[in-house]
Structure 1
């Protein structure tokens, strides 16, 4: 018996502590890769040594995750008690390997017949991580303005012409649900960068799938894949009293997981009366109940406060660009907004041919806006949903894809306007019960006429209505119930994509778009109801070329957009911004993006040297525009810079040191329809240097320093167009510095 027990114990001991060896090499040159993080569920992460080797304890086969900054991530099953070889591919990021989901269809970017730009998580982190502004502005055709901290305005191909403030004429989605309210406005400032992982931006009309909006569509996604249990925290500080901190936790559960994060950001602001204080909490769960189903749920709560310094005339801006507009401080011009979103998304794979994705959401908002001229309070509740069926099949010998679905939104708002007495709400001027409804059905048919030729035909049927029940009117008018119903509109899209070879393609499209006025354009701040304001209608013609060859990626697009019933702004004698339809505009443009890796080799001390150029040429003009007895036909479109150029340089080393450098040139642009006032051209230069590393197996750390506006340029990052009393300018900060640290622990 004793002779039998000893071998059994020796075998058990050796099995328990037997080492499993993993060697990681480069697929192409077969050289070992050091610094590869090996993620093992339920255990400490391991890192390969200089010989590309790591030894772990495994008692049974297991799928492990391999990640390295210079290589594509990989999941591979590892066998216990033997040497396992893992090969990794260099992360080239060429266009032929990039997949995007534009127009609700997962296809390689080369076969997408549309102007699509991506903003990845690492691009958001090239700058100060307090807003989306800098990262989005590196993309051709896209312009994000921040008139004051947390006060965004987005222009895609000149779409902000009718936006004196806020985000309009663009449809924004967050995790598959419409983040744009049914009244046509988008509270993009409710999101922190940590709520966004990847972004896809469709430029130009996308009404065939996404409903109203001539400017385009922004699809924002937060992190869904939870690969490990993890706790992380960030701290960011900077000039003007900037302080931002974040804490987050990820818990893996089966094939899914739960994550939660809290972010608090505040600053005093560059100008007087431009402080901001934002708190954002997000809770998310991603589950896979079965092989056929995926279920996601999100809760987002934001408590936002920011002050509005107001615009200055040229004399005031030159005298002291940091001052607030007279009256802004006394009247406490600011915005307080508390908003709660809840969403549920479900995906079901009926069979290999048919899939459904359905999302529903609810939102409540409490909004207060004391302004120099009045005091606005709103309490809003909205709900809605979106469903999409996708069928992949064949028509004869031709593969086809059919997409059909619908979207519905309804919002109810109690909107009240008061007088403003020293920053406090005074006597009510008027009060409205608002009901806004937006709905559309969409269909899309794709057919692969050959392996290299894809034809897309799509259309949507759109319905919208505003009910404005005026219950209180302090003027001589009697309360009344008003309805503005827009005629059902059908908007089509036709597109072709042809793949020249495996790394290059051409594409063209003709798409129609429309954009009804938002509720803020119909119901104005001085109490009038502009019920005769018509929806904008336009047709966009587009031709593009994409290619990857060697170290170069090229994406070039030319377009012509003809817009009718253009909505523009003007100010009355009290300075209140009003809206009107003003003829048509011709918008011709070219957008080009080129990037190339001067050097990329994860095996060497310098792992990557990468350069990127983005050029925007927007040559927009009023085709037929008469306003106030003046003929502005032929004038340059207000607020649009004809030429913009962005240059980026990125450096990354083997030991974790990195450098990001960005230069941006913005051409002079007209600030009024008469083209008599311009903002001068300017150059912005910024950079960020840092170090990131994984150490002690399960810990990772990053530290960084950065500078914005290194040349100390005087400019406005967002001007008031057609401004009353010549108050056009919203001065942006001069040279300023920031820094931060990030730490994470995986368990």
Structure 2
């Protein structure tokens, strides 16, 4: 009898050991994989919190459902099927909380960051049509993204980049750890479809030593990540006015240790204007594997094919009376740009212990382009290779990060005669005019540190060293000159210093930082192809003071800043297709950025949210003499003094949702003399939808409208436009009139 009792007890003990296993996991930020310390994990058996490494342990039986809560992040319920899973949380669109941001090498709570930074997550992107990210970016204070067409965009941060003529320059951009900015300083953020973006972070001003200390700032795009512990397939189709059509499909898998996303998009548009047909096809894959507890590897690959016709800018008479017209010569030549572009990056993240790690990335890019223009035909080929490495070490009150970034651009371009006529039905390639090759090498060495003086006060410091050099080989030029040569800019040291006071959900911060912007390709060369040895990078100092806070459902972010910029780069136009760069003076930028949000929980399924953002931008030429004319005291060309956004939205985890948002953009000077201004304008947008969950299926039906007031406005201006051959100068890119779109997205969770 006693032996039977012992055997029964032993069997019961064994069964309890088998059933009540010790289950572990890790909770991280969904986008940047930063550990979330103090996240609450609840199951029907146990409750615990994550430790300093984001890890937790439970005594429970697998599989089991757990609920995870963390301030500033969306609450989730997931089913654990195995121990060791990594679970990512998405930041809440309506709370600052302790959201982890990547203002530099240090991933930190937004309340402990001494930097002005804007965060745009997936839900904020989905307030608008899925065709572009322009509207979401323009709701961020201090940011202006002008969009002439889907492929002609100019992003400015606090006025930096406003003098770039047809694209984004002097603002650095990264897609995960891969630079989207080329060796000449140009960035094409609009190329990345929403289907491949999980989140955007915009660092305003030269506050990021680890990403090059760019004078304008840094735009970081984070690739899409699968939902935790799920496998799903998403398909969407959107159609709209002016022949707009976007199809996307995406497959996601996340088993806790392996994440993979494969996606494809096809975007088409006939365009509001003549000669503005657009087609972009994009395919991408991202993967992340947790090789061991301390080692992970990530891969990102993307291919883009684009063919976009170019209507170009038009003169004032056409803008007022026939805005649908293309510029006459561009229409006759049927000008367009077409390119194939690819990027590939691999990142190894090695954690040595709980206080140190090393992240190493290698990447490669290429772009092969063909662009028939009225004045010539341009062919381009760019090949880029590079690497980034960051070592981080953390002590009890001190963090240190050191690293380097190096990339090398090989850019080859040729121009040909364009022998189009009124009867040729488009461009006709003629004789070779020029053939060149430029190799540009760009190196950053940097460090950042953070020291906690007290429980509430921390100090950060950083230093960036940059060296840029290029070699030019002229293979052919019509004048027969050999313009080959080498040039190297003087090394630039850019320090920064910041201080932050934080108590609960309130912070006060300030910083001083230095930044620079290298000249573009056009600014480094004279019109005849010779090297311009006198050109210097723009450089300047930035001073900021700001505060952030949250009480109940109300939150705010207020920043005042001053920036002084020396060696202002000016592209002087000497012909329709020729420019020369000069350093023309000093700029003074004063500004205030304000962001406010109030959220009200109606019930467990619905939430009401109101939002407001405003930018006051007083930018003026301090000392500016160009071509013998003095423009001292004039307003900076191509930037308004006021941008205001506001609106409200009803959010729902299931059922009806909707929003309406308004934008006011003030008048902008179109020439340095401030003799011409574009008109200020008011735009109204709205989107409504219904989210219908059916077991494992989720159906999202939506309808939206842009420019509801049918405002006639210039969505982009060409500053300092010059008329040639007696033609009127072409300053204006007309914005689309009232337009509508509708679509459906179907998601199936396996």
Corresponding residue of 2:419:
421
Matches of 2:680 and 2:699, distance apart in 1:
39
Give SS of 1:450's match. Answer: coil
Tell me how large the CA RMSD over aligned residues is: 2.6
Contact 2:223 2:286 in 1 (8 A): no
User: Any idea what the Cα deviations from partners look like across 1:361-414, whole Å, max 9, x if unmatched?
Assistant: 1112101121122211111211101110110014xxxx0000000000001122
Matches of 1:157 and 1:324, distance apart in 2:
31
Contact 2:377 2:415 in 1 (8 A): yes
Contact 2:115 2:207 in 1 (8 A): no
Q: Alignment partner for residue 75 of structure 2, among 73, 76, 85?
A: 73
Q: Alignment partner for residue 363 of structure 2, among 361, 364, 385?
A: 361
Dislocated runs of 4+, deviation >4 Å: 65-68, 75-80, 88-93
Seen in structure 2, the aligned counterparts of structure 1 residues 656 and 577 have a Cα distance that, compared at 3 Å, is farther
Corresponding residue of 1:409:
407
Give SS of 1:209's match. Answer: helix
Matches of 1:377 and 1:78, distance apart in 2:
53
Matches of 1:195 and 1:134, distance apart in 2:
17
Contact 1:63 1:75 in 2 (8 A): no
Corresponding residue of 2:658:
659
Contact 2:226 2:261 in 1 (8 A): no
User: Any idea what the Cα deviations from partners look like across 1:247-280, whole Å, max 9, x if unmatched?
Assistant: 1112335611222111000101110011110000
Matches of 1:728 and 1:612, distance apart in 2:
33
Matches of 1:435 and 1:283, distance apart in 2:
29
Corresponding residue of 1:699:
697
Q: How far does residue 240 in structure 1 lie from its aligned partner after superposition? A: 0.5
Corresponding residue of 2:189:
188
Matches of 2:530 and 2:683, distance apart in 1:
41
Matches of 1:649 and 1:392, distance apart in 2:
42
Q: How does 1:570-649 map to 2 (within 5 A)?
A: 570-574=572-576, 576-597=578-599, 599-603=600-604, 607-649=606-648
Corresponding residue of 2:245:
243
Seen in structure 2, the aligned counterparts of structure 1 residues 578 and 161 have a Cα distance that, compared at 3 Å, is farther
Q: How far does residue 63 in structure 1 lie from its aligned partner after superposition? A: 4.6
Q: How does 1:152-191 map to 2 (within 5 A)?
A: 152-191=153-192
Give SS of 2:297's match. Answer: strand
Structure 1 length-normalised TM: 0.87
Matches of 1:479 and 1:653, distance apart in 2:
65
Contact 1:360 1:385 in 2 (8 A): yes
Corresponding residue of 1:552:
554
Q: Does 1:464 align with 2:468?
A: yes
Give SS of 1:346's match. Answer: strand
Contact 2:643 2:663 in 1 (8 A): yes
Q: How far does residue 72 in structure 1 lie from its aligned partner after superposition? A: 2.6
Corresponding residue of 2:392:
390
Matches of 1:563 and 1:727, distance apart in 2:
29
Corresponding residue of 2:115:
114
Contact 1:96 1:503 in 2 (8 A): yes
Corresponding residue of 1:331:
333
Corresponding residue of 2:354:
352
Structure 2 unaligned regions, length at least 5 = 1-18, 20-42, 44-59, 83-88, 421-426, 724-728
User: Any idea what the Cα deviations from partners look like across 1:32-54, whole Å, max 9, x if unmatched?
Assistant: xxxxxxxx9xxxxxxxxxxxxxx
Q: How far does residue 575 in structure 1 lie from its aligned partner after superposition? A: 6.0
Corresponding residue of 1:671:
670
Matches of 2:317 and 2:610, distance apart in 1:
40
Matches of 1:454 and 1:327, distance apart in 2:
59
Corresponding residue of 1:97:
98
Contact 1:536 1:564 in 2 (8 A): yes
Corresponding residue of 2:519:
517
Give SS of 1:110's match. Answer: coil
Q: How far does residue 97 in structure 1 lie from its aligned partner after superposition? A: 2.4
User: Any idea what the Cα deviations from partners look like across 1:8-45, whole Å, max 9, x if unmatched?
Assistant: xxxxxxxxxx9xxxxxxxxxxxxxxxxxxxxx9xxxxx
Corresponding residue of 1:233:
235
Give SS of 2:331's match. Answer: coil
Contact 1:513 1:538 in 2 (8 A): yes
**Stretch deviating more after TM superposition (179-188 or 532-541):** 179-188
Seen in structure 2, the aligned counterparts of structure 1 residues 78 and 328 have a Cα distance that, compared at 3 Å, is closer
Matches of 1:618 and 1:133, distance apart in 2:
20
Q: How far does residue 313 in structure 1 lie from its aligned partner after superposition? A: 1.1
Matches of 2:79 and 2:255, distance apart in 1:
19
Matches of 2:168 and 2:121, distance apart in 1:
21
**Stretch deviating more after TM superposition (574-583 or 255-264):** 574-583
Contact 1:349 1:355 in 2 (8 A): yes
User: Any idea what the Cα deviations from partners look like across 1:547-581, whole Å, max 9, x if unmatched?
Assistant: 11122111000000000001123322446344321
User: Any idea what the Cα deviations from partners look like across 1:404-430, whole Å, max 9, x if unmatched?
Assistant: 000000011221122222213322221
Structure 1 unaligned regions, length at least 5 = 1-17, 19-39, 41-58, 81-87
Q: Does 1:683 align with 2:682?
A: yes
Q: How does 1:232-271 map to 2 (within 5 A)?
A: 232-253=234-255, 255-271=257-273
